[in-house]
Copies of this chain bind each other. A is one copy, B any other.
Amino acid sequence: MGFESMWQALAPVGLDAKTGGYNRFAWDDADLACREWFGSAAKDRSMSVVEDGNGNLFAWWGDPDAGDAVVTGSHLDSVPDGGAYDGPLGVVSAFAAVDMLRTRGVQPRRPIAVACFADEEGTRFGVACAGSRLLTGALPPDQALLMHDRGGLSLAEVLHTRARDPRRLGPDPELLGGIGCFVELHIEQGRSLVHSGVAIGVATQIWPHGRWRFEFRGRADHAGTTAMADRCDPMLTYAMTALAANKQARLSDARATFGRVEVSPNGTNAIPSRVQAWLDARGRDEHVVSDLVGAIHRQAAARARRDGTQVSLSAESVTGAVAFDVALRDRIVTALGGVPVLDTGAGHDAGVLQAAGVPAAMLFVRNPTGVSHSPEEFAEPADCLAGIEALAAVLTELAA
């Protein structure tokens, strides 16, 4: 019933024994097993489970209809070959914090719920935080029903096979209006807390971020016969741009990554006609991000002139900063006796709820390597327990 036994019950679900990574994707068998685990964890605590029309789960301690609820939790799905902590740590810690409050005889004056949001990673259908976005209306249900997985199944078809009614998809103002605040505990994806030397931190904001597609065009030619001086090779322009992105991000204390590249015709003996590469850029404010992308683009264009290639840039998605509720954050920091506050570069359900007007906060648990979205993701057991202690203190402060 404690943290350890909950963790061990979840551990085999969706595990790839070869890599040590997890594969739990929206509505697949592993996700269904996680949902069943959630139901039994709630039942063990006599908490009533409500699933909204979007597949988000809420386990209630107190009256769901009383309003002004203190909700805590995270998600149970994963990226491909993901780590054990991203998501599950927040859900398991939420149940463990409830246990701690009860052991200590805390009588909440506000209802408390443990939440598990559906399809946070967006692995299967390509849209992150789909469950919380549907709940708040940020993702229109018509659009969501048309999302397809790589096997060609639409979300509507998948929901049918899982005995869910696709017509129930969409915003739920009543449910959302009953949430007084949301606190998400999450493993840190980075090493700020390692540098600070403490186990727990509190989020200030989610960085603005976006995806930009660079298209480098050159001239297809024979790799064996074309003299180096006669080439217009877009691979060179791309390569310089990837190095420039790294340098510029370091200079502006931001982040820039080229993780996806597509080459045409992608033949060993062919100078490419085209290289497409996607830039993921994030920074502490919108100016930092736009300056960063602008600087990378300028350097790409300069190199293109030298290579005899063309470069074009198009924004595929750009999301502004989400600042978490300041009053809630200050209350939490004080309740925890002064912990570090830190920005995060990743999107979260807490950010979706905050953007919809629900006061939200996040607690981060130290991650020794900083690695996430990978089997190497890890938190020390002592830090996990510190997370539960902190979350229990926050719930006590907010609900008691």
Question: Which residues of A line the B interface, CB within 8 A?
Answer: 79-81, 188-192, 207, 209, 211, 219-230, 233, 235-236, 238-240, 242-243, 246, 249-250, 255-261, 263, 265-273, 278, 280, 282, 344-347, 370-374, 376
- Known contacts A228-B250, A268-B211; is-contact A223 B261 (Cβ 8 Å): no
- Known contacts A209-B224, A240-B239, A345-B225; is-contact A370 B266 (Cβ 8 Å): no
Chain B residues, CB < 8 A from A243? 236, 239-240, 243
Question: Are B228 and A376 neighbours in the complex by a CB distance under 8 Å?
Answer: no
Question: Are A267 and B263 neighbours in the complex by a CB distance under 8 Å?
Answer: no
Q: What distance in Å separates the Cβ of A352 from its nearest Cβ neighbour in chain B?
A: 15
What is the chain B residue whose CB lies nearest that of A232? B371
Identical copies of this chain, number: 2
What is the chain B residue whose CB lies nearest that of A344? B225
What is the chain B residue whose CB lies nearest that of A224? B345
Question: Are B222 and A373 neighbours in the complex by a CB distance under 8 Å?
Answer: yes
Question: Are B207 and A372 neighbours in the complex by a CB distance under 8 Å?
Answer: no
Chain B residues, CB < 8 A from A261? 235, 261, 263, 266
- Known contacts A190-B226, A376-B219; is-contact A267 B271 (Cβ 8 Å): no
Q: What distance in Å separates the Cβ of A188 from its nearest Cβ neighbour in chain B?
A: 8
Question: Are B242 and A190 neighbours in the complex by a CB distance under 8 Å?
Answer: no
Give the contacting residue for A239; candidates B242, B265, B371; CB below 8 A. B242
Chain B residues, CB < 8 A from A240? 239, 243
Question: Are B190 and A230 neighbours in the complex by a CB distance under 8 Å?
Answer: yes
A372 to B270, CA, bound (A): 10
Question: Are B272 and A267 neighbours in the complex by a CB distance under 8 Å?
Answer: no
Question: Are B227 and A255 neighbours in the complex by a CB distance under 8 Å?
Answer: yes
5 pairs of residues in contact across A and B, judged by CB atoms under 8 Å: A81-B220, A225-B344, A235-B261, A236-B246, A260-B263
